[in-house]
Amino acid sequence: MQQVETDDGEIIHVAVGGSGPPIVLLHEWASNHRVWKPAARALEPRFTVYRWDARGHGGHTPQGREPPTVGRMAEDLHRMLDHFGLDRVLLAGHSMGALVAWEYIARHGCGRLAGLGIIDQSPQLVTDATWRLGIYYDWPRERDAAFVADLRRDFVETVVRLVGESRSAAARARYTDPADGLWRLRAFMAAADPAPLITVWQSLTAADWRPVLPRITVPVLLVYGSDSNFYGAETGEFVRDAVPDGRLLVYPGADHSPHLAEPERFAADLAAFADSLAWPARPAAGR
Protein backbone atom coordinates (compact mmCIF):
# COMPACT_ATOMS: atom_id res chain seq x y z
CA MET A 1 0.00 0.00 0.00
CA GLN A 2 1.18 3.50 -0.82
CA GLN A 3 0.19 6.59 1.13
CA VAL A 4 -1.00 10.03 0.08
CA GLU A 5 -1.11 12.88 2.57
CA THR A 6 -3.86 15.42 1.95
CA ASP A 7 -3.75 19.14 2.65
CA ASP A 8 -5.60 18.69 5.97
CA GLY A 9 -3.36 15.93 7.29
CA GLU A 10 -5.37 12.84 6.31
CA ILE A 11 -3.45 9.79 5.12
CA ILE A 12 -5.06 8.06 2.15
CA HIS A 13 -3.98 4.45 1.56
CA VAL A 14 -3.76 3.39 -2.10
CA ALA A 15 -3.02 -0.01 -3.63
CA VAL A 16 -1.18 0.37 -6.94
CA GLY A 17 -0.48 -2.44 -9.38
CA GLY A 18 0.11 -3.21 -13.02
CA SER A 19 1.45 -1.14 -15.88
CA GLY A 20 -0.05 0.85 -18.70
CA PRO A 21 -2.70 3.59 -18.90
CA PRO A 22 -4.10 4.56 -15.48
CA ILE A 23 -7.41 3.30 -14.11
CA VAL A 24 -8.61 4.65 -10.75
CA LEU A 25 -11.24 2.52 -8.96
CA LEU A 26 -13.43 4.05 -6.21
CA HIS A 27 -15.26 1.69 -3.85
CA GLU A 28 -18.72 1.88 -2.31
CA TRP A 29 -19.81 3.16 1.11
CA ALA A 30 -18.56 1.17 4.12
CA SER A 31 -16.13 -0.84 1.97
CA ASN A 32 -12.44 -0.68 1.01
CA HIS A 33 -9.96 -1.20 -1.82
CA ARG A 34 -10.04 -5.00 -1.51
CA VAL A 35 -13.47 -5.20 -3.12
CA TRP A 36 -11.81 -4.37 -6.46
CA LYS A 37 -9.29 -7.21 -6.30
CA PRO A 38 -10.98 -9.49 -8.91
CA ALA A 39 -11.19 -6.62 -11.43
CA ALA A 40 -7.69 -5.39 -10.65
CA ARG A 41 -6.20 -8.85 -11.15
CA ALA A 42 -7.69 -9.00 -14.65
CA LEU A 43 -6.80 -5.39 -15.58
CA GLU A 44 -3.26 -5.06 -14.24
CA PRO A 45 -1.53 -6.91 -17.11
CA ARG A 46 -2.49 -3.99 -19.38
CA PHE A 47 -3.30 -1.06 -17.08
CA THR A 48 -1.94 0.60 -13.97
CA VAL A 49 -4.72 0.25 -11.42
CA TYR A 50 -5.12 2.54 -8.39
CA ARG A 51 -7.48 1.45 -5.59
CA TRP A 52 -7.87 3.64 -2.53
CA ASP A 53 -9.42 3.32 0.88
CA ALA A 54 -11.56 6.43 0.97
CA ARG A 55 -11.35 8.74 3.96
CA GLY A 56 -13.10 7.12 6.93
CA HIS A 57 -12.96 3.68 5.31
CA GLY A 58 -10.73 0.64 5.28
CA GLY A 59 -10.15 0.50 9.02
CA HIS A 60 -7.94 3.60 8.98
CA THR A 61 -8.74 5.95 11.86
CA PRO A 62 -9.47 9.44 10.45
CA GLN A 63 -6.56 11.81 11.07
CA GLY A 64 -7.53 14.81 8.99
CA ARG A 65 -8.87 18.07 10.31
CA GLU A 66 -11.93 17.89 8.06
CA PRO A 67 -14.76 15.36 8.46
CA PRO A 68 -15.22 12.54 5.93
CA THR A 69 -17.76 13.88 3.44
CA VAL A 70 -18.23 13.34 -0.27
CA GLY A 71 -16.89 16.84 -0.94
CA ARG A 72 -13.77 16.18 1.08
CA MET A 73 -13.31 12.84 -0.72
CA ALA A 74 -13.45 14.65 -4.06
CA GLU A 75 -10.59 16.87 -2.87
CA ASP A 76 -8.73 13.79 -1.64
CA LEU A 77 -9.09 12.32 -5.12
CA HIS A 78 -7.74 15.53 -6.65
CA ARG A 79 -4.77 15.35 -4.29
CA MET A 80 -4.22 11.68 -5.15
CA LEU A 81 -4.10 12.43 -8.88
CA ASP A 82 -1.53 15.15 -8.13
CA HIS A 83 0.51 12.84 -5.93
CA PHE A 84 0.88 10.18 -8.61
CA GLY A 85 1.14 12.70 -11.45
CA LEU A 86 -1.91 11.22 -13.17
CA ASP A 87 -3.46 12.81 -16.22
CA ARG A 88 -6.02 11.40 -18.66
CA VAL A 89 -7.23 8.62 -16.36
CA LEU A 90 -10.18 6.29 -16.57
CA LEU A 91 -12.05 6.97 -13.33
CA ALA A 92 -14.54 4.28 -12.30
CA GLY A 93 -16.71 4.34 -9.20
CA HIS A 94 -19.25 1.97 -7.70
CA SER A 95 -22.13 3.35 -5.61
CA MET A 96 -20.51 5.92 -3.28
CA GLY A 97 -17.49 5.86 -5.56
CA ALA A 98 -19.67 7.08 -8.42
CA LEU A 99 -20.86 9.97 -6.26
CA VAL A 100 -17.27 10.89 -5.41
CA ALA A 101 -16.49 10.88 -9.13
CA TRP A 102 -19.46 13.15 -9.90
CA GLU A 103 -18.48 15.48 -7.05
CA TYR A 104 -14.91 15.58 -8.37
CA ILE A 105 -16.23 16.57 -11.81
CA ALA A 106 -18.51 19.21 -10.25
CA ARG A 107 -15.44 20.81 -8.63
CA HIS A 108 -12.64 20.15 -11.10
CA GLY A 109 -14.21 19.26 -14.44
CA CYS A 110 -13.14 16.47 -16.79
CA GLY A 111 -9.79 17.87 -17.91
CA ARG A 112 -7.77 15.09 -16.30
CA LEU A 113 -10.11 12.28 -17.32
CA ALA A 114 -10.04 10.08 -20.41
CA GLY A 115 -13.28 8.36 -19.47
CA LEU A 116 -15.68 7.68 -16.62
CA GLY A 117 -17.22 4.46 -15.34
CA ILE A 118 -20.39 4.52 -13.20
CA ILE A 119 -21.57 1.34 -11.52
CA ASP A 120 -25.17 1.08 -10.30
CA GLN A 121 -25.76 4.51 -8.83
CA SER A 122 -28.34 7.29 -8.89
CA PRO A 123 -27.38 10.97 -9.14
CA GLN A 124 -29.76 11.73 -6.26
CA LEU A 125 -30.35 9.19 -3.51
CA VAL A 126 -33.32 10.86 -1.83
CA THR A 127 -36.69 10.76 -3.60
CA ASP A 128 -39.47 13.35 -3.67
CA ALA A 129 -42.53 14.29 -5.70
CA THR A 130 -40.39 15.14 -8.73
CA TRP A 131 -37.71 12.42 -8.45
CA ARG A 132 -38.39 8.71 -8.04
CA LEU A 133 -35.11 7.12 -9.16
CA GLY A 134 -33.34 7.24 -5.80
CA ILE A 135 -32.89 4.47 -3.23
CA TYR A 136 -35.62 1.80 -3.50
CA TYR A 137 -37.47 4.39 -5.66
CA ASP A 138 -38.97 5.33 -2.27
CA TRP A 139 -36.49 7.13 0.00
CA PRO A 140 -37.89 10.52 1.07
CA ARG A 141 -36.01 12.79 3.49
CA GLU A 142 -38.08 11.53 6.42
CA ARG A 143 -37.10 7.94 5.71
CA ASP A 144 -33.46 8.92 5.41
CA ALA A 145 -33.55 10.74 8.75
CA ALA A 146 -35.04 7.65 10.40
CA PHE A 147 -32.36 5.51 8.76
CA VAL A 148 -29.57 7.70 10.17
CA ALA A 149 -31.16 7.51 13.64
CA ASP A 150 -31.24 3.71 13.31
CA LEU A 151 -27.58 3.67 12.22
CA ARG A 152 -26.69 5.44 15.45
CA ARG A 153 -28.67 2.91 17.53
CA ASP A 154 -27.60 -0.31 15.78
CA PHE A 155 -25.22 0.25 12.90
CA VAL A 156 -24.71 -3.38 11.88
CA GLU A 157 -28.34 -4.44 11.80
CA THR A 158 -29.42 -1.24 10.05
CA VAL A 159 -26.90 -1.69 7.23
CA VAL A 160 -27.80 -5.36 6.83
CA ARG A 161 -31.50 -4.46 6.71
CA LEU A 162 -30.78 -1.81 4.04
CA VAL A 163 -29.23 -4.49 1.84
CA GLY A 164 -31.66 -7.27 2.75
CA GLU A 165 -35.02 -5.51 2.68
CA SER A 166 -34.40 -4.22 -0.81
CA ARG A 167 -35.51 -4.39 -4.43
CA SER A 168 -33.30 -7.46 -4.99
CA ALA A 169 -35.27 -10.72 -4.77
CA ALA A 170 -32.08 -12.68 -4.11
CA ALA A 171 -31.01 -10.36 -1.27
CA ARG A 172 -34.46 -10.56 0.34
CA ALA A 173 -34.30 -14.36 0.21
CA ARG A 174 -30.86 -14.43 1.80
CA TYR A 175 -31.86 -11.94 4.49
CA THR A 176 -34.78 -14.09 5.63
CA ASP A 177 -32.94 -17.42 5.30
CA PRO A 178 -31.97 -18.61 8.81
CA ALA A 179 -28.97 -20.41 7.33
CA ASP A 180 -27.67 -17.23 5.70
CA GLY A 181 -29.07 -13.96 7.01
CA LEU A 182 -26.27 -12.11 5.19
CA TRP A 183 -23.92 -13.17 7.97
CA ARG A 184 -20.78 -12.26 6.03
CA LEU A 185 -22.03 -8.71 5.71
CA ARG A 186 -22.85 -8.65 9.43
CA ALA A 187 -19.35 -9.77 10.32
CA PHE A 188 -17.77 -7.19 8.01
CA MET A 189 -19.88 -4.33 9.35
CA ALA A 190 -19.21 -5.35 12.95
CA ALA A 191 -15.55 -4.44 12.41
CA ALA A 192 -16.35 -0.96 11.05
CA ASP A 193 -16.22 2.35 12.91
CA PRO A 194 -19.78 3.71 12.52
CA ALA A 195 -19.14 7.40 13.28
CA PRO A 196 -17.23 8.43 10.12
CA LEU A 197 -19.45 6.24 7.94
CA ILE A 198 -22.59 7.93 9.24
CA THR A 199 -21.05 11.33 8.49
CA VAL A 200 -20.26 10.18 4.97
CA TRP A 201 -23.79 8.85 4.47
CA GLN A 202 -25.37 12.15 5.47
CA SER A 203 -23.26 13.99 2.91
CA LEU A 204 -24.27 11.52 0.19
CA THR A 205 -28.00 11.90 0.74
CA ALA A 206 -27.79 15.69 1.04
CA ALA A 207 -26.54 16.22 -2.51
CA ASP A 208 -27.98 16.21 -6.02
CA TRP A 209 -25.61 15.50 -8.92
CA ARG A 210 -28.17 15.66 -11.72
CA PRO A 211 -26.92 19.11 -12.84
CA VAL A 212 -23.40 17.66 -13.22
CA LEU A 213 -24.35 15.01 -15.76
CA PRO A 214 -24.65 17.26 -18.86
CA ARG A 215 -21.23 18.74 -18.02
CA ILE A 216 -19.40 15.43 -18.39
CA THR A 217 -17.31 15.83 -21.54
CA VAL A 218 -15.73 12.36 -21.64
CA PRO A 219 -17.28 9.02 -22.63
CA VAL A 220 -19.17 7.30 -19.81
CA LEU A 221 -19.62 3.56 -19.33
CA LEU A 222 -22.65 2.70 -17.17
CA VAL A 223 -22.96 -0.76 -15.62
CA TYR A 224 -26.14 -1.61 -13.71
CA GLY A 225 -27.64 -4.78 -12.27
CA SER A 226 -31.12 -5.87 -13.35
CA ASP A 227 -31.77 -7.11 -9.78
CA SER A 228 -30.13 -4.17 -8.00
CA ASN A 229 -30.85 -3.78 -4.30
CA PHE A 230 -31.53 -0.08 -4.71
CA TYR A 231 -32.16 0.98 -8.30
CA GLY A 232 -33.22 -0.38 -11.66
CA ALA A 233 -32.46 -0.17 -15.34
CA GLU A 234 -34.50 3.06 -15.46
CA THR A 235 -31.87 4.78 -13.34
CA GLY A 236 -29.13 3.75 -15.72
CA GLU A 237 -31.23 4.90 -18.66
CA PHE A 238 -31.72 8.29 -17.03
CA VAL A 239 -27.98 8.77 -16.53
CA ARG A 240 -27.20 7.52 -20.04
CA ASP A 241 -29.62 10.01 -21.55
CA ALA A 242 -28.39 12.88 -19.34
CA VAL A 243 -24.70 12.64 -20.23
CA PRO A 244 -23.44 13.65 -23.69
CA ASP A 245 -21.78 10.27 -24.42
CA GLY A 246 -23.16 7.41 -22.34
CA ARG A 247 -23.07 3.66 -22.94
CA LEU A 248 -25.31 1.49 -20.75
CA LEU A 249 -24.79 -2.18 -19.91
CA VAL A 250 -27.34 -4.02 -17.73
CA TYR A 251 -26.16 -7.33 -16.27
CA PRO A 252 -29.10 -9.77 -16.05
CA GLY A 253 -29.68 -11.08 -12.53
CA ALA A 254 -26.92 -8.97 -10.98
CA ASP A 255 -27.55 -6.98 -7.80
CA HIS A 256 -26.13 -3.59 -6.73
CA SER A 257 -22.61 -4.94 -7.36
CA PRO A 258 -22.61 -6.20 -10.97
CA HIS A 259 -18.80 -5.99 -11.03
CA LEU A 260 -18.75 -8.67 -8.30
CA ALA A 261 -21.62 -10.74 -9.70
CA GLU A 262 -19.76 -11.09 -13.01
CA PRO A 263 -16.15 -10.06 -12.38
CA GLU A 264 -14.72 -11.52 -15.59
CA ARG A 265 -17.35 -9.86 -17.75
CA PHE A 266 -16.94 -6.57 -15.91
CA ALA A 267 -13.16 -6.54 -16.31
CA ALA A 268 -13.55 -7.34 -20.02
CA ASP A 269 -16.18 -4.63 -20.48
CA LEU A 270 -14.08 -2.04 -18.65
CA ALA A 271 -10.97 -2.99 -20.63
CA ALA A 272 -12.87 -2.76 -23.92
CA PHE A 273 -14.18 0.66 -22.88
CA ALA A 274 -10.66 1.74 -21.94
CA ASP A 275 -9.40 0.61 -25.35
CA SER A 276 -11.94 2.91 -27.01
CA LEU A 277 -10.64 6.01 -25.22
CA ALA A 278 -8.16 8.62 -26.39
CA TRP A 279 -5.27 7.75 -24.07
CA PRO A 280 -2.30 9.85 -25.27
CA ALA A 281 -1.18 11.72 -22.17
CA ARG A 282 -0.97 15.49 -22.22
CA PRO A 283 1.82 17.26 -20.34
CA ALA A 284 0.64 17.94 -16.79
CA ALA A 285 1.09 21.66 -16.23
CA GLY A 286 3.07 22.41 -13.11
CA ARG A 287 3.81 18.77 -12.35
Q: How confident is the model at residue 281 (pLDDT cuts 50, 70, 90)?
A: very low
Return the CATH number at 64: 3.40.50.1820
CB 266 within 8 A of CB 259: yes
Q: Is residue 145 part of a domain?
A: no
Q: Is residue 93 part of a domain?
A: yes
Q: Is residue 235 part of a domain?
A: yes
Question: Following DSSP, what letter does each residue of 155-211 receive, concatenated?
Answer: HHHHHHHHHHSSS-HHHHHHHH-TTTTTHHHHHHHHTS-HHHHHHHHHHHHT---GG
Q: Looking at residues 193-199, what average pLDDT do you find?
A: 97
Tell me 129's DSSP state.
T
Q: How many domains is the chain partitioned into structurally?
A: 1
For residue 178, what are the CA distances in angstroms to 108, 172, 227, 229?
Answer: 48, 12, 22, 20
Q: Is residue 176 part of a domain?
A: no
Q: Is residue 264 part of a domain?
A: yes
> pTM of the prediction?
0.96
**If residue 127 lies in a helix (H) or strand (E), which one and from where to where?**
none
Per-residue model confidence as pLDDT tens digits over 71-89:
999 999 999 999 999 999 9
Q: Is residue 156 part of a domain?
A: no
Tally the residues of the chain.
287
Largest interatomic CA distance in the chain? 58
Q: How many CB atoms lie within 10 A of CB 249?
A: 16
